[in-house]
Structure formats: C-alpha cells, structure tokens
Amino acid sequence: MTTVTERFLRYIQLDTMSIEDTTDPTTPGQLEFAKVLVEELKTMNMDEISLDDNGYVMAKLLANTKKKVPSLGFIAHMDTSPDMKGQCSNPIIIKDYNGLDIQLNEENNIVLSPKEFPELLNYKGETLITTDGTTLLGADDKAGIAEIMTALDYLKNHPEQLHGELCIAFTPNEEVGRGANHFNVEKFGADFAYTIDGGPIGELEYENFNAAGAKVSIQGRNIHPGSAKGKMINAILLAQEYVAQLPKGETPAETEGYEGFYHLTNIQGEVESASLSYIIRDFDIVSFEKRKEMMRKMAAKLNGKYGDNTFKVEIKDQYFNMKEKIEPVIHIVDTVAKAMKAVGVVPDICPIRGGTDGARLSYMGLPTPNIFTGGHNFHGKYEFIPIFAMEKSVEVILRVIEMYSKPEG
C-alpha cells in the first residue's frame, strides 16, 4: 500500500497552479493531474470513476455493509495558488527537526525560522517537508488529495472494515474561487461531505467569511500640466482619497479571529482613469452588508465633491458563511471532533478566515465542513508540512467513516 508521504511527494512534482482565466480548468496542468488521479483510482478498482470536460474527477467506493448508513463525501482541490510557482520539484525532507533555523535556499539566504514561525517548535523531533525557497510546497491541497487517496487505498486493502458508500471528488480552480462552479452535487451523491483542505493538525472548520469582490472605477480628466489649474482631475489622486476614507485598522494585516476587513488587492491608474480592486470579508451577514454599503456611500460622497459618475462601484458576492447550513446537521462536525480525539488529535474548532469549496457547496445542498491537512504557511515559499500530521489526517478520515458505519440504534 502506498503511503501518504509517497503520494504527496509525487503529486507536488506536477505544476497545477491556477490563474485568473475564463477556461475550466484554468491551466492545462490541472487536467494532466486529473488524468493521473483517474488512472490511480482505476488501479485501486474504485467505482464510477469519471473526469468531465471541466476537469472534475469523481469516483465512489461502494458500501460493503448492509446497514443503512449515510453516503459520505470527501473532497480536495487539485490546483495550487497563483501567488507563487506551484511545481515543487525539489522539496526538502528534514528528519528529527531540532528546533533551529532551516536553510531553505543558501544562494538567496531564505530561512524558515522559528523566530518568525514559532509553530515550528511544536514539531521538534518530527519529520518535516519544506520547499527549497523557490516555490510553494503544494500541501494546499495536494496533501488533502494524498490523504483521501491513502484512506481509500487502506479500505480497499482491508475489506473487513465496514463502510457505507463513499463519494470522492477532486476539483479544479479552487484557488481562484471557482472550484464549485461546475460541481454536480446530484451526480456526486453524498448526503454530506468534508473538504480535506484545512491547515495545521486538529483544525476543524464550519464557519467562513461572507465574501464579495468590489471594483471601484474612477474617471479623471487629463489636461496638459502647464495649463491644468482648475481643469485637471487626476484619477490617481482621487483613488488615494477613496482609499484614505476606509476605516483604519480594518485590513488583513490588522485583524484576526472573527474580525472582518477590506483588502485592497490591486490598483491601476493614470491621470485619465484609475481602478481599485477590493475583497470584502466578514463573518456576520449584517456587518458584511454594512461593509458593502460603506463602499457605495464613499463613492456617492466623493461624487458629490467631484461630479456624478466620477466614482462607480461594482460589488459581486462570492460566497457566504456556511455556518447557517451546517448547524442543522451539526453531527457532521461533532463526529469529526470525536474521531480526532479517538486517534489522539486535539480538535481546534475555529473559523476559516477565507473560504473553501465547502462554503459554496453547503449552499448548493451539500453540507461540507473542513478538516485539516496538517500544512502551514500556504501560498508561499515558507510552506511546510509535518509527515505525522498527514498520517493523522488519514486516521481521522478512516475513523469518521468507521463511526458512520455503526449508527446508534
């Protein structure tokens, strides 16, 4: 039976970085990875294996018990973040970590240090997998895929472990917010599901941000600077004025826990025109709506100063807090917490300061909380994952399956 580490190290060699694009999947590497997974699922003799035109892989492991038990789903995404090169061709394996600085890249003096990342000290004596400082690692979410596949492999090799129907999906484009765009919930067939897409060991999440994207378009007027007095309207300066009016301290760098924020992600401009791109995040739906209204009111105020249509704000909702859809079936969270405790993992039930495929899927009729992969520092060169955490994720998946194969009564 292939280990979770072997699978993970093989998967991260593939370049599956997402990009903002109109195609599905957004990059050909995701489709190539999908084909690899399909062949692996065939080798494992899984059932109802499919790969659709949009790059979604689905499969099932049919029930081997006659008991009436729920159909469980397990989901992970194939793509990696567009923030950094995603093909990790040279991962570093550190055995028996000693708690000191880790030299990732001597040439560029890139160091993974417990001074900046004190959580490293939790893993003294453990084996870590890191990047070489030139790419991200890809644990988000190739670790999740490796963990699901390893759990399936175990069940295939241990038919004595009873289980209900298991529904598996690997999705593209999650990192650009489109992982659920073409997800066929009916075909998937699960009563409820879990994304294996969380961070450090023990994470269990069923709350996430309400999310929207906003674009502020600013129309200026360009006049030769030698005769511009009273005539020029510099759109770049107006953009600065708009930014300055947002509430201070409500940015990602200054918030945590349940605190929401406005995040300026892009600014472009010339004298004639400028644009600002924001993401808006808040756990509370009332506060979320107030944030959107704040951005509209700011534009209206500045239009009163500079003229109608100088500022235009377009806001599009992206996803919503899945808590509303999970709480009526909270047993799917409670069961995971019990499973974690049973395998020696302390549950850390916390809000996701972001979103997963599960957020949208929950509103599509498939309640889907999120379970840890074990990784840290996703989306960048300081990403790492302890091997034992991946192994514990596999154990948690298997224990959840076991617990639902033995319903009370």
Specify whether 116 is located in the same domain as 239: no
Around Cβ 299, how many Cβ atoms within 10 Å?
20
Question: With 80 as the cut, is the pLDDT of residue 376 above it?
Answer: yes
Are 10 and 136 members of one domain?
A: yes
150 and 19 share a domain?
Answer: yes
> What percent of the chain has pLDDT above 90?
93
pLDDT for the residue 330: 98
**E-assigned strand segments in 208-330:** 210-219, 261-269, 273-282, 311-319
Confidence of residue 409 (pLDDT cuts 50, 70, 90): very low
pLDDT tens digits for 205-221? 999 999 999 999 999 99
Note the pLDDT of residue 355. Answer: 78
Q: What's CA 318's distance to the chain center, in Å? A: 14
Cβ proximity of 164 and 193 under 8 Å: no
In a domain, 45, yes or no: yes
The percentage of the chain sitting over the pLDDT mark of 70, rounded to a whole number, equals 99
Question: Is residue 409 assigned to a domain?
Answer: no
CATH code for the domain in which residue 234 is found: 3.30.70.360
Pairing of β 102-105 and β 311-319: unpaired
104 and 188 housed in the same domain: yes
Per-residue pLDDT tens for 20-70?
Answer: 887 889 999 999 999 999 999 999 999 999 999 999 999 999 999 988 999
- pLDDT above 50: residue 82: yes
**Residues assigned a catalytic role:** 79, 174
Q: Check whether residue 300 and residue 250 sit in a common domain.
A: yes
Average pLDDT value for residue range 299-322? 96
> Cα angle at 139 between 109 and 59, to 5 degrees?
160
Is the same domain home to 178 and 243? no
pLDDT for the residue 150? 98
Is 72 within the bounds of a domain? yes
Task: Indicate the residue among 266, 289, 319 that finishes a domain.
Answer: 319
- Domain identity same for 130 and 81: yes
Q: Which of 7-11, 20-24, 332-336 has the lowest mean pLDDT?
A: 20-24
Q: What is the mean pLDDT of residues 91-119?
A: 96
- Residue 355 belongs to domain with CATH number: 3.40.630.10
Supply the pLDDT for residue 155.
97
Identify the pLDDT of residue 23: 86
What are the CA-CA distances from residue 311 to residues 220, 228, 241 (Å)?
A: 9, 21, 11
pLDDT of residue 138: 97
Q: Is residue 325 domain-resident? A: yes
pLDDT value at residue 244: 96
Beta-carbon contacts of 237 under 8 Å, excluding residues fewer than 6 positions away, are: none
Q: Name the domain count of the chain.
A: 2
On the question of pLDDT at 407 being above 70, the answer is no
Indicate whether 313 and 375 sit together in one domain: no
Residue 86 shares a structural domain with residue 134: yes
Mean pLDDT, rounded, for 222-229? 94
**How much is the average pLDDT of 104-133?**
96
Q: Which domain holds residue 280?
A: 210-319
